[in-house]
């Protein structure tokens, strides 16, 4: 007879408590070795973590928990509370007991957020013992003789035989109660203690999750400088970036090698056991950059580089599908990797800034940042692409990072001067690099004139025939609209004339959108009609472009998908003077007008210097009053600005609420035509494939839709919306 920690696997074997605990301890030891701290600090953390992992699952010896492993009916009680009582009986310090008791649940509820918090009635304090605790203790003691055998083996593994005979439970101390009370903790304990408790808790949770996943031990943090990244001749600005020690702003034309410059910079600036975070604005750009960075670091076995965003599992699943392997194998691999990405497993992550803010705004699992952010390098691509509040939150986070020996780089094709000044204000000593006319290799890209801008009167719908005629003369044409309904209407009309026309926007199912993005990597269609999803970091190179009017920085990004490398004669870019849709403006009419006026006033064809000049003209006065207020709301966000005061160990927050207004963002819905397929896939265990049928819909549009909210996920009824793989979701 044995005590078991996990239910039966696919082979019908349950995992004994000792083997499970040993794996947890071993993973924890690797995580400690990967910490970016001095040896003496790592030694202390290692000793503490050994004890935490040794004790954290001992409560599973209770008969009720053991029965649940066979019946698959939840025990309904918290095994980690018994484990904490065991650690208390050993006389272990509060920091050990706190990590043990909170490695699954948050500390006690403040009254509003009971879900996910420890249950007060199960906690055994000397001055109040509830009947439920007495029942839990009775069930645990019933298996005492078997547990002693497991505990003896655990003590041998951590070389603590002095603890082998101390087997029992004791009431939790009043100090632990103080740690579990939010207000009391913040008022009682200094920041250094709260930070250390949080650090240990983060390591405990990551070690537990990684070990439970059955994955190999995490790899050592790689030295980025060990990789040769550039087989070609470097440009002057790339050499300058590769030699710059410290935080940096790089402005260089699209397609000139900014990414390579950033990776070279990261090789020099990575400190001891530091990681790399490469942040981009959109999921599509991240998916493409993930493959690019993997190739740069020769990561063909998913050891070093991870893809991190809210749909990472779905994106990975689609990438694996290209290999033609069986769906369940793809799903298992994608889910396993997606789970590990959020743990302290991968040295390099390609992500949205939201995933960095998830940590700094203390979302679930935020404690990992205390181990992962120090000494690391952070690359923020196209910082100007975010709304003012998000930009402010990013800059507040950057301020936190540089205080902890992290180094940051901002790379962009177009950086309005006022944004540069805000970065320089928050990151003291940061340097600015751009290509120089005095260096031959730089001058070549600066003198390239890739685009000829032409203003076209009226709106895009009124010029369908013009676009179709011009598209016949070119191999590839990009058409960009500001709104999904406009893009759908343009696509429908153009496809009547040009059959090789593809539509790309945000309102496709994840499955259909992933397929479209993958196909674009292989071949450009005659016409691609798209929304803003095409703007950032997709490595596309069209011969010409027609676009609705937009803000200057968005327009420059659109231009970057046309004659990308300047290898052809200057490409035509037609900008319509009017936006077709009069509703839901993404860019104000004034900003659209100023941007178009600034561009068309320049001599043609345009140089990169012309584009930067135009951006500074348009944004000469910086944010308007409303945007300025939003920026400072983010920059001065108290939990970030006053980090030490607001840090509470064992608490996570609904971080996304601090980024997205309740009217913004999207929710994922299932169209009724996919219900049967969704059910079939779920019955087969193909959950990622089932979730890939979901369609993101802006929250602002929900009032226009008929939705069955009794279903999970919510189901879109076809009364006023249609869906097809070519057009996506049509509303109205």
Report the side by side order of strands in the sheet with 431-433: 305-308, 348-351, 276-279, 377-381, 407-412, 248-251, 431-433
CA angle 152–154–155, rounded 5-degree value:
65
Q: Where are the beta strands (DSSP E) in 475-561?
A: 477-480, 501-504, 527-530, 544-547
Q: Which residue has the tokens 């001055």?
A: 127
Residue 248 CB neighbours (<10 A): 23
Q: What is the pLDDT of residue 255?
A: 81
pTM beyond cutoff 0.85: yes
Q: What is the pLDDT of residue 364?
A: 86
Of 479, 501, 503, 500, nearest in space to 573 by CA: 479
Q: What is the pLDDT of residue 710?
A: 85
* Calpha distance 549→523 (Å, rounded): 27
CATH of 4-213, one of 1.10.3210, 1.20.120, 1.10.1740, 3.20.20: 1.10.3210
Residue 370 and residue 198 in contact, taking contact as beta carbons nearer than 8 Å: yes
Reported as a single tens digit per residue, the pLDDT across 522-579 is 899 999 999 988 876 567 899 999 999 999 988 988 998 999 888 899 999 999 999 9
Q: What is the pLDDT of residue 628?
A: 92
Task: Kindly state the tokens that stand for 317.
Answer: 């699943």
Helical residues (DSSP H) of 547-672, grouped into ranges: 552-559, 589-600, 608-618, 625-635, 638-641, 643-646
Residue 575 and residue 478 in contact, taking contact as beta carbons nearer than 8 Å: no
Surface-to-core class of residue 452, CB atoms within 10 Å of its CB (0-12 exposed, 13-18 middle, 19+ buried): middle
Reported as a single tens digit per residue, the pLDDT across 284-293 is 678 788 888 9
Separation of first and last alpha carbons in the chain? 64
Of 683, 672, 682, 681, nearest in space to 717 by CA: 672
Reported as a single tens digit per residue, the pLDDT across 313-322 is 666 655 555 5
CATH 3.10.129.10 fits 449-606, yes or no: no
* Three-state secondary structure call for residue 670: strand
Neighbouring-strand partners of residue 348: 276, 305
Question: Which residues in the chain show pLDDT less than 70?
Answer: 110-115, 231, 284, 301, 309-342, 536-538, 660-664
Instruction: Kindly state the DSSP code that residue 535 receives in the 8-state scheme.
Output: S
Residue 313 CB neighbours (<10 A): 23
For the domain spanning 224-439, the CATH number is 3.40.50.300
Q: Do domains 4-213 and 449-606 have the same CATH topology?
A: no
Q: Strands 15-16 and 4-6: what pairing?
A: antiparallel
Every domain of the chain and the residues it spans: 4-213, 224-439, 449-606, 666-731
Q: Strands 431-433 and 15-16: what pairing?
A: unpaired
* Calpha distance 512→535 (Å, rounded): 19
Q: What is the pLDDT of residue 314?
A: 60
Task: Kindly state the tokens that stand for 658.
Answer: 């601090």
* Calpha distance 225→236 (Å, rounded): 20
Containing 721, the helix (H) or strand (E) segment is: strand 721-724
């Amino acid at each position: 007879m044995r005590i078991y920690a996990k239910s039966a696997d696919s082979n019908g074997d349950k995992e004994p408590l000792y083997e499970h605990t040993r794996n947890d301890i071993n993973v924890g030891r690797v995580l400690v070795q990967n910490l970016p701290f001095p040896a003496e600090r790592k030694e202390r953390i290692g000793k503490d973590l050994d004890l935490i992992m040794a004790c954290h699952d001992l409560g599973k010896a209770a008969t009720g928990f053991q029965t649940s492993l066979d019946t698959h009916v939840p025990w309904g009680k918290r095994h980690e509370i018994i484990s904490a009582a065991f650690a208390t009986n050993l006389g272990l310090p509060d920091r050990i007991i706190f990590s043990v008791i909170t490695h699954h649940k948050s500390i006690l509820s403040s009254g509003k957020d009971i879900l996910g918090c420890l249950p007060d009635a199960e906690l055994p304090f000397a001055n109040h013992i509830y009947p439920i605790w007495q029942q839990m203790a009775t069930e645990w003691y019933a298996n005492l003789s078997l547990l002693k055998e497991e505990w003896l083996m655990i003590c041998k593994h951590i070389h603590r035989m002095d603890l082998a005979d101390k087997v029992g439970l004791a009431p939790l101390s009043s100090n632990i109660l103080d740690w579990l009370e939010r207000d009391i903790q913040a008022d009682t304990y200094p920041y250094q203690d709260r930070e250390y408790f949080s650090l240990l808790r983060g390591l405990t949770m990551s070690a537990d999750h990684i070990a439970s996943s059955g994955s190999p031990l995490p790899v050592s943090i790689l030295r980025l400088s060990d990789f040769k990244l550039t087989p070609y001749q470097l440009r002057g600005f790339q050499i300058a970036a590769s030699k710059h020690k410290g935080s940096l702003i790089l402005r260089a034309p699209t397609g000139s090698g900014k990414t390579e410059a950033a990776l070279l910079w990261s090789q020099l600036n990575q400190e001891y056991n530091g990681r790399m975070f490469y942040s981009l604005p959109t999921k599509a750009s991240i998916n493409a950059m993930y493959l690019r960075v993997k190739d740069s670091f020769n990561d063909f076995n998913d050891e070093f580089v991870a893809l991190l965003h809210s749909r990472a599992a779905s994106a990975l699943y689609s990438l694996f599908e290209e290999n033609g392997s069986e769906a369940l194998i793809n799903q298992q691999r994608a889910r396993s990797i997606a789970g590990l990405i959020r743990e302290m497993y991968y040295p390099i992550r390609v992500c949205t800034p939201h995933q960095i803010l998830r940590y700094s705004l203390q979302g679930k699992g935020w404690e990992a940042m205390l181990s992962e952010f120090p000494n690391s390098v952070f690359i923020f691509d196209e910082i100007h692409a975010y709304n003012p509040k998000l930009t402010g939150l990013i800059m507040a986070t950057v301020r936190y990072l540089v205080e902890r020996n992290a180094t940051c780089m901002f790379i962009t094709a177009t950086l309005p001067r006022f944004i540069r000044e805000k970065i320089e204000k928050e990151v003291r000593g940061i340097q600015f690099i751009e290509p120089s006319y005095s260096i031959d290799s730089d001058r070549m890209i600066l003198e390239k004139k890739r685009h000829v801008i032409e203003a076209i009167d009226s709106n895009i719908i009124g010029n369908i025939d013009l676009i179709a005629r011009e598209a016949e003369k070119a191999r590839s044409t990009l058409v960009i609209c500001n709104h999904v309904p406009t893009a759908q209407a343009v696509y429908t009309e153009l496809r009547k004339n040009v059959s090789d026309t593809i539509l790309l926007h945000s309102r496709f199912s994840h499955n259909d959108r992933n397929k479209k993005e993958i196909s674009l990597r292989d071949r450009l269609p005659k016409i691609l009609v798209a929304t803003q999803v095409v703007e950032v970091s997709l490595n596309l190179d069209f011969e010409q472009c027609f676009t609705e009017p937009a803000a200057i920085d968005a327009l420059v990004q659109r231009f970057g998908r046309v004659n990308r490398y300047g290898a052809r004669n200057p490409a035509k870019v037609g900008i319509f003077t009017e936006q077709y849709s009069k509703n839901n403006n993404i860019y104000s009419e004034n900003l659209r007008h100023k941007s178009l006026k600034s561009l068309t006033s320049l001599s043609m064809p345009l140089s990169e210097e012309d584009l930067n000049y135009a951006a500074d003209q348009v944004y000469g006065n910086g944010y308007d009053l409303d945007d300025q207020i939003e920026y400072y709301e983010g920059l001065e966000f108290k939990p970030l600005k006053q980090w030490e005061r607001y840090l509470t160990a064992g608490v996570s927050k609904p971080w996304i609420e601090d980024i997205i207004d309740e009217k913004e963002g999207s929710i994922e819905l299932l169209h009724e035509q996919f219900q049967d397929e969704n059910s079939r896939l779920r019955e087969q265990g193909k959950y990622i494939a089932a979730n890939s049928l979901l369609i993101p819909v802006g929250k602002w549009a929900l009032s226009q839709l008929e939705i069955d909210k009794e279903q999970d996920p919510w189901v879109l009824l076809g009364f006023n919306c249609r869906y097809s793989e070519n057009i996506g979701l049509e509303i109205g």
